[in-house]
Structure 1
Amino acid sequence: MAKHIPPPSDGDGERIIDEPLSEALSRRYLAYALSVITDRALPDVRDGLKPVQRRVLYAMREMRLNPESAARKCAKVVGEVMGGYHPHGDQSIYDTLVRMAQDFAQRYLLVDGQGNFGNIDGDNPAAMRYTEARLTQAATLLLDGIDEDAVDFKPTYDNQDEEPVVLPTGFPNLLANGTTGIAVGMATSIPPHNAAELIDACSLLLENPQATTEELMAHVQGPDFPTGGVIVEPRASLLETYETGRGGVRLRALWEK
C-alpha cells in the first residue's frame, strides 16, 4: 500500500510554491551565470584581476612577501589563500600563482617565482612544496594605497576577516597584462600591451576625453606580447579590432643565424 507523505512544513502550514518550471529554471540559471561571471571566470575591469588572482596577491601582501623580503614556499602561500580567502581546490590556486610568475605568460610579472615554474614548451612547474615566491614591484603598485581606504573591503567567505573588493591598481593592469576567461554565455580575450604606451594614452584622454581610437593608437600601436615577435596585421585591421572589440593579431617570429 502506498504511503502518503505530507509536504514539508515549517509549522505554519504547507510550503508549496506554484511557479512555472521555465521561470524557475531561468531565474536560477541567471543567478548561477552571474556568479560565474563575477566571482570566478572574468576579470574586474578596474584592476584586471580575477577573484583568485586578487586573493593570492592580497594574501602575499598580508604575509609580507614584499620584493625586498625573502621568498616563502608556495605551499605556504596556497594554504593561506585557501584557508583565509578562497575556499576552493589548492591546485587551482597554485596554477594561478604559477601563471603570474611565468615570464612567457605575463607581460609584467606580479609574482617573483624561485624554482621550476614550467616553460613555454609546456613542461609543468614543480610541486608547490619545492617552489618559492614573493611579490614583484609591479604587484606592489597594484596594492599601493590599500591601507589608505582607497578601496572597499568585504567579509571573507567565513566572516572571519576582510578582503578587498578590488585592488587600488597603480597602472592599467587589465590592458598591460591582458587576460582570458570563459564564463557562462560570455568570454574575454584581451592581449597584453606596453604599460608606458598605455599611460601616454591615458594622459591623452585626460587632456582630451573625446579622443578617437585612431588618436589613441598614435601611442598604443598594438599589443605587446611577452614572447616578442613582429605584428604583421595591417593598421586598418588593428583599428577595427580596437573599435569593435573583435579581431585577431598575427605575429611573425624573428630569428638569427
Structure 2
Amino acid sequence: MTFRTRFAPSPTGPLHLGHAYSAILAHDMARAAGGAFLLRIDDIDQTRARPEWEALILEDIAWLGLSWDAAPRRQSDHLPAYRAALDRLSAMGLTYPCRCSRRDIREAASAPQEGATHGPDGIVYPGTCRGRPMAEAGPGDAIRLDMARALDTLADLPTLTETGPAHAGAIPLTRDHLIHGIGDAVLARPAMGASYHLSVVVDDAAQAITHVIRGEDLFEAAQLQAVLASLLGHPLPTYHHHRLIRDDHGKRLAKRDDARAIRLYRAEGATPQDIRRMVGL
C-alpha cells in the first residue's frame, strides 16, 4: 500500500508556525516512506474563503521547500460529491433536520439536569430536533447525523489505528462515547454543501489517503469521521495526531496569530531551515 497523505489548509487567513509544522511533518513522512504528499484546499465555507489567502498558502508551502504530487483539490469543486454522500446517509434513515441555533444548544446544555459536554464541534447536541423527518428540512436547517441509529447499522464499531505520540496503537471506539461524547454532529449547514466532517471523509476517500497527519486537537474528530467513513463504505486511514505548536503562554496558535505568520518570517529574512528549527524539526 502506497503511503498517501495530505495537507489541507483553509484559505481563511495566513499560514502560521503550526501550519508549517503540520505541512512539513506530513511532507517529510511521505517522502521517507516513498509515498505521495497531496495538497487540498478546504474552502467549503465560501463565506470566509478568499483567493488571496489561497495564493499565499501555495506561495508559503513552496517557499518551505515542500512539493505536492498532484494538482491541489479544492472542496468548492466537489459539492455534488458531498451532497451524494449526505443523500446516501439520509436514504439510510440516519439524518434529521435541525433548526436549533447555537444559543438554543447552549441554553439546553446548561439546564441543571443536562450539563455541557464538549465534542469535536463544541457542546454536544442535546437532541432537541432528533426525530424530525427529512421531509421537513428547510433552507435554514442544519442536517445532523443520528448517532445512535448510525451505530445500530454498523456490524462492528470502527477501531482507529493511531501512530501519534499521545494516542499510539489500536483504539477501539465505544458506543457510549460516540453517543454522549461526540453526539449528533452536523453534516451540512445552511448555505453550505457539507460540514467539515463529511467533506473530509469524502475527500480522503477520493484522494485515496492512507495516512491522516494533523494536530492532536482533531483526535476527537477522527472518531466521528471513522464512523462516517464506515457508514459510507470507505477504508479507514491510519491517523497521526501530532503535538501542537503553542505560544509563550501555552496557547495553541490560531490564524489570528498573525505575528507568527509564515509571510512575516519570510519578509524578515528567515529561511525555511529557520522555520524547521522554530517548530522543533
TM-score (normalizing by structure 2): 0.26
Q: Is the strand fraction higher in 1 or 2?
A: 2
Larger Rg: 1
By relative contact order (CA 8 Å, sep 6+), the higher-ranking structure is 2
Q: Is the helix fraction higher in 1 or 2?
A: 2
